[in-house]
Chain A
Amino acid sequence: MAQTPGQTQPPQGAPQATPQGAPASGQGQPPAGAKPVQVPRPTVPPEFDGLPIWKMEPAKLLALVKDPASTVFQKAIACKKLAFVGGRDAIQPMAALLSHPQLSCYARFGLEPNPDPLVDDVLRAALPKLKGKLQIGVITTIGVRKDAKALDALIGLINDSDAEVAGAAAASVGMIGGLQAAKALQSALGGTKPPVFPVVARACLICAEGLMAGNRPRALELYTQLSATTMPGPVRLAALRNLNAAGPAPPGAKAYPPPTGEAAENDKSGFLGRGR
Chain B
Amino acid sequence: MAEEKQAVTRRRFGRAVAQAGAAAAVPAVLAGTASGQIATPAPGQVGPVLVGNYAMVDQIRVGGIGIRGRGMADLRMMLGDERVKFVAIADIRNSAREMVKSTVDNYYKNNDCVMYKDPTEILERKDIDALLIATSDRWHGPMAMWAAQSGKDMYIEKPGAMSIAESYAMAENVKRYGVVYQSGCQRKNQYAFEFAVGLARSGKLGRLLAVHADTAIGLGTVDAGGHGWWAADAPEPDPLVFDWDKWLGPCLWRPYNSHYADRGRGEFWDFHAGLLEWASHTVAMAQWAADMEHTEPVEYEPEGGIFRGDGLISRYTINCRYANGIKLVLRNHSWDLLGSCSNRFEGTEGWVETGDSGRIAVSENLKSLLPTRQGKRYDPTAEHIREFIQCIRSRTPPRANAEVTAHTHVASHAAWICAQLNRKVTWDPAKRMFINDEEANRMRSRAYREPWRMEALATNM
Binding site for B on A (CB under 8 A): 1-6, 8-15, 17-18, 20-36, 38-39, 41-42, 44-45, 48-51, 53-55, 73, 76-77, 80-81, 83-85, 102, 104-106, 108-109, 111-115, 133-134, 136-137, 140-141, 143-146, 164, 168, 171-172, 174-175, 177, 199, 202-203, 205-206, 209-210, 233-234, 237-238, 241
Contact = CB atoms under 8 A, between A and B. Distances in A.
A21 B70 contact: no
Nearest to A82: B442
Given A8-B81, A14-B107, A237-B51, A115 B438 contact: yes
A168 B217 contact: no
9 contacts: A8-B382, A15-B72, A24-B185, A51-B224, A113-B444, A133-B451, A168-B451, A237-B52, A241-B178
Interface in B139-163: 148-151, 157-159
A14 B76 contact: yes
Contact of A209 (B107, B190, B264, B457): B457
B455 A8 contact: no
Interface of B: 18-19, 21-22, 51-53, 68-70, 72-73, 75-77, 79-83, 99, 103, 106-107, 126, 134, 136-137, 148-151, 157-159, 176-178, 184-186, 190, 216-217, 219-220, 224-225, 227-232, 252-254, 259, 263-264, 266-267, 277-278, 281, 309-312, 314-315, 332-333, 337-341, 355-358, 376-383, 386, 438-439, 441-457, 459-460
A141 B148 CA distance: 22
B340 A33 contact: yes
A3 B386 contact: yes
A270 to B, nearest CB: 18
B443 to A, nearest CB: 6
Contacts of A234: 52, 148-151, 177
Contacts of B70: 17-18, 22, 24-27
A88 to B, nearest CB: 13
B77 A8 contact: yes
Nearest to A111: B447
A10 B80 contact: yes
A36 B314 contact: yes
B41 to A, nearest CB: 14
B381 A20 contact: yes
A8 B107 contact: no
B359 to A, nearest CB: 10
Contacts of B52: 233-234, 237
A134 B450 contact: yes
A206 B177 CA distance: 11
Contacts of A24: 70, 134, 157-158, 184-186, 281
A51 B225 contact: yes
A256 to B, nearest CB: 16
Given A8-B379, A24-B70, A233 B386 contact: no
Contacts of A102: 253
A206 B444 CA distance: 21
B431 to A, nearest CB: 14
Contacts of A26: 69-70
Contacts of B185: 24
Contacts of A145: 459-460
Nearest to B340: A32
Contact of B266 (A28, A85, A114): A28
Nearest to B185: A24
Contact of A85 (B278, B332, B439): B439
Contact of A202 (B18, B149, B254, B264): B149
A54 B224 contact: yes
Given A3-B82, A73-B230, A83-B442, A18 B73 contact: yes
A164 B452 CA distance: 10
A33 B338 contact: yes
A13 B220 CA distance: 36
A1 B82 contact: yes
B178 to A, nearest CB: 6
A23 B126 CA distance: 32
A73 B220 CA distance: 21
Q: Which 7 A-B pairs have the closest CB atoms?
A: A17-B73, A137-B450, A234-B151, A6-B378, A50-B228, A13-B106, A8-B382
A48 B216 contact: no
A238 B457 contact: no
B103 A11 contact: yes
Contact of A28 (B149, B229, B263): B263
Contacts of B457: 175, 177, 206, 209-210
A18 B69 contact: yes
A14 B75 contact: yes
